[in-house]
Amino acid sequence: MSLEWFDRVCSEMQDSLESICEDYDELGHMRIDRAAKHPKLEFFVEYEGDEREDFCTLFFDPHNEEFYMEEFDFTAGDTYRQILPDIEEILDAVHESFHNFMDTEVEEVDEDEFFEDHIDESEETYDEDGEVDEAYVDGGAYDVVVDVEWTTPEVLAYSYLDEVEVTYKFGVLKETGDGILHRVNRIFTEDDGTIEDETNFIFSKEEAGAIIELIEGNMDVMEGFDPS
């Protein structure tokens, strides 16, 4: 298993896309997730206020050393892989996905008006460390801010050398009483930078037991991360 091809493509993608497309140069961004079982490149458009929306995800199969995109066939009801064998096809696929995404943006939303309607800054609450008790939850084109009472600190779930770490913390939504798991995947780069990918998973108390049983009942069929 080798990530050499993945690393080579990562080093060329951003500059190559910016050089072939002026629109992408202005709006497009790339995020690298090297720690996943199948490492991936996520491409997104970033709006004001750090809001972003993904338009393309490239996966890398380290065993076959090939990039692929997942597509859903609505007729057959199946997901299939589109294999991208070389850098030219990879660039074309991302470039096409970017323009398809931009072309389907039918309505331009005034972001200031959106956040005035959904977020009352005067209602922000702070924890004992002076940080805002809130979390961003996926709400479609934009994220929604919800108030959270965090009941645990960040717990280190996984780390590999000084390259990757994954942490979790648990909280309760103040409005609904549902639970929330906040996951942070951090990748430490050679230039002492940090790439972070944050996700939130919300579930009710009634769901918690079933989730725990599903995880415990399937631990033996899961594979651990093999860095070799």
**Residue 187 CB contacts under 8 Å (≥ 6 apart), including other chains:** 32, 33, 34, 35, 163, 164, 194, 195, 196
d(CA 4, CA 140): 35
73-82 pLDDT, tens per residue?
666 667 788 8
| Helix/strand/coil for 40 | strand
The predicted structure's pLDDT at residue 68 = 92
DSSP 132: B
Q: Strand, coil or helix: what is 108?
A: coil
Q: What six digits make up the tokens of 185? A: 């995947």
Per-residue pLDDT of the chain (228 residues; tens, 9 = 90+): 578 888 888 888 877 888 878 888 888 888 888 877 888 888 888 777 667 788 889 999 888 889 998 877 666 667 788 899 899 999 999 999 888 888 876 344 444 444 455 444 434 444 555 454 556 555 444 445 668 888 888 888 888 877 888 899 999 988 888 999 999 888 888 777 888 888 888 889 888 888 888 888 888 888 766 555
Per-residue pLDDT tens over the stretch 115-124: 455 444 434 4
Nearest alpha-carbon partner for 40 in 55, 51, 53, 30: 30
User: What is the model's pTM?
Assistant: 0.44
Burial of 23 (0-12, 13-18, 19+ CB in 10 A): exposed
